[in-house]
Amino acid sequence: MKHVAILYALSGAALALSAINYFTPEIHTTKIEPIKQATASGKLNPYDWGELEQAEVDALQKKLEAIPKLPVTIFCSNENCRNIVLDFDNAFESAKWQTDIQKPFSDAAKGIWTSSQDLADAIRDATNGRLTASILGPEWDDKTRIALAIGRKTR
């Protein structure tokens, strides 16, 4: 008789635990991917820069807060850099930098260019090396303003 009572107690405990699992909602996480830019044919545009991930924007903001501030002119070569330019602008403004966006500047330039080694390092570090910026040569000689140019993306 005692063993029957123990079985009933164990069965009751098992039912109670299964009810807890049944009524406790599971936590599901969903990774949100940046929107991929498609062409009119529905194919992804391999020349679109896309967007920075939010973690990259946040990391860039923190890096920018540690760099001496100068006004920044962000140049965008065409519509393929529209989203990434807005993300860069967001990071600069969140770090309290003055920005100005200019487009288009030149459809011949490729890649990302800047007049500031500190900014090039910040972009590389914030994106874990996914994006790298080359340094502009003597063609940018304005010491009172930093240039950030987003040219055409190569495949």
The pLDDT, as a whole number, for residue 99 is 96
Segments forming the whole domain that contains residue 89: 54-150
Residue 99 within any structural domain of the chain: yes
Residue 42 within any structural domain of the chain: no
- The mean pLDDT of 129-135, rounded to a whole number, is 95
DSSP secondary-structure letter at 145? S
Residue 142 within any structural domain of the chain: yes
Residue 49 within any structural domain of the chain: no
The pLDDT, as a whole number, for residue 78 is 87
With 0-12 / 13-18 / 19 or more C-beta atoms within 10 angstroms meaning exposed / middle / buried, residue 16 is exposed
Residue 4 within any structural domain of the chain: no
- Counting the structural domains of the chain, the total is 1
Query: What interhelical angle do 82-94 and 54-65 show, nearest 10?
Result: 40
The pLDDT, as a whole number, for residue 137 is 85
The pLDDT, as a whole number, for residue 2 is 47
Adjacency order of strands within the sheet including 133-135? 99-102, 72-76, 146-150, 112-114, 133-135
- The mean pLDDT of 33-52, rounded to a whole number, is 70
Residue 132 within any structural domain of the chain: yes
The pLDDT, as a whole number, for residue 6 is 47
